[in-house]
Structures are given as structure tokens and as C-alpha cells.
Amino acid sequence: EDIHLPSVMVSASIINELGRMTRKSCSGVIVHRQMVVSAGHCFCAPRSPKDEDRTPQRSGAGTAASSPGGRAEKRRVTRASALKNVSLTSIVDGKSLCATTATVTTVRYTSTTSGTASKPEILDHTGEVVLHPAFELITGHRGHSRGVVWSNSDLAVILLKEPLVATLPWLELTEAEVQAGDAITMVGYSSGDDSSPVYGARHFGVNRVSRLIHLETGSSVFRAEEQQMPGGAAAPHTQGGDSGGACVK
């Protein structure tokens, strides 16, 4: 169905440290006729950590500070505390091998001549990938826990060579800060559930923001961890291929 048309598929070819080329597929969202926003890690190959990678690339705000109005700011997570007692396994950042171009695939449905059904209109568009300058994603393990231990500014934009058709809508970015308890619709192209077992089917579902994590860099991360919505329906969660997809408030 033509719901959440600004949500698109993005893909890029990346050469890793071993010289092997891989194709990564993620999701994205149109924010302008010539601009798509996605996740930075969708366009870069993980690199091996070095000793200097434990040193913060920028100074932070510490843990708690006083605002000009005299109110204490919320405690912020520092990079140093996130990496404490962690064995680093990989890093994705501006020093990684990254794709410079990407393909954006738009999907919309058009009526058939009989008017009783619809068929997908799938178009590919190419553009230049620009990573957020502060992008950094680190994976590692602490004890038995493994996974992402630090993520900051995991964003990229794709500047399209040609503007999209005027009839294809884009999503306006909100100026309001996200709050715990906000209902959000997550849209992506992952394999989803049994009804869409392959990458390439657009799907969406509602969850709620459960908590906010404020970083020393000034960024904030929000988690959507609800297992069940107030009405009793199961809350959806993101899966592989949903990275970079839209969260619509």
C-alpha cells in the first residue's frame, strides 16, 4: 500500500579491510527531493580497533553540570565509561572504508487498467554519501555481554544526483525533542515477520519510547523496548535491514 512513501531502501557496495566487496542493504527516509537520511554504519565496513581508539576524539561535558538557569542537567554517559572494562572488537567511523555513492530505491503502487489491483513501481536513484563528521560506532564485549557499546551520530545523508518526482512526498523533521512515553511508528524494509520473509517489503508498526540516554557529546539515544502496547497488541521491534529507517512521531 502507498503508506509511508517517504521510507525507502538504500544499498551500497563496500570494500572491507581484506579487500572483499560486500553489498549492504538498509532503510532510509526522504527529507527533501534530493536528500535521503539513513544510518552511517550502512555505508562503512567495520575496522579493527587500535590502541588510540580508546582515547576520546572530543572532550565531553562530564556527568552532571549546572545550566545557566541554575538547574542541574541530566547525567550524561561518557565515552570513557562506556568503554571501561570492554574488549573492543570493531569500530565503524570516518576512518573506516566507506562507500562514496549509494542507491536509493523508492517503492510506490499504481492502479492497473482494471482498477481492481495495484502493482509496485520500483525506481532506483543514485547519490553521494556524506557521513556525519562525529559518527562513531564501537562493538565489544564485557564479560558475557557482546554488542554495540558506544554509538554517536550514527547518521548519513545521500545527496541524490537528480531530484525525485514532485509527487513523491518527503518527511518533515520534527523540531520537538523526543520524550519517554512518546508513541512512534517505525518503518523499514527488513525481513520482518512471517508475512514478509524477505528484505524489500515495506512494513511498519507502533512502539513507545521507553527511555532516553544522554551522551557527553550532546547527542541523545532513545530506546523503544516495549513488548506490548496498552491495548494488548504486541509492539514491533527493528530487525536487520531496518537500520536508517524512519521513526515517525
**Contact predicate 153/217, CB 8 Å:** yes
Tens-digit pLDDT profile for residues 18-50: 888 989 999 999 999 999 999 999 999 999 999
pLDDT greater than 60 at residue 59:
no
CA–CA gap between residue 205 and residue 5 (Å, rounded): 15
pLDDT greater than 50 at residue 68:
no
CA–CA gap between residue 27 and residue 3 (Å, rounded): 15
Q: Give the pLDDT band (50/70/90) at residue 71.
A: very low
CA–CA gap between residue 129 and residue 43 (Å, rounded): 8
pLDDT greater than 60 at residue 66:
no
Q: Give the pLDDT band (50/70/90) at residue 61.
A: very low
CA–CA gap between residue 183 and residue 132 (Å, rounded): 27
**Contact predicate 83/140, CB 8 Å:** yes
Q: Give the pLDDT band (50/70/90) at residue 196.
A: low
pLDDT greater than 80 at residue 175:
yes
**Residue 63: what pLDDT?**
38
Show Cβ contacts of residue 75 under 8 Å, excluding neighbours closer than 6 positions: 63, 64, 214
CA–CA gap between residue 34 and residue 106 (Å, rounded): 13
**Residue 174: what pLDDT?**
86
**Contact predicate 243/26, CB 8 Å:** yes
Q: Which residues is 152 bridged to in the sheet? A: 136
What backbone torsions phi and psi does residue 41 show, to the nearest 5 degrees?
-70, -10
**Contact predicate 204/185, CB 8 Å:** yes
**Residue 72: what pLDDT?**
43
Q: Give the pLDDT band (50/70/90) at residue 112.
A: low
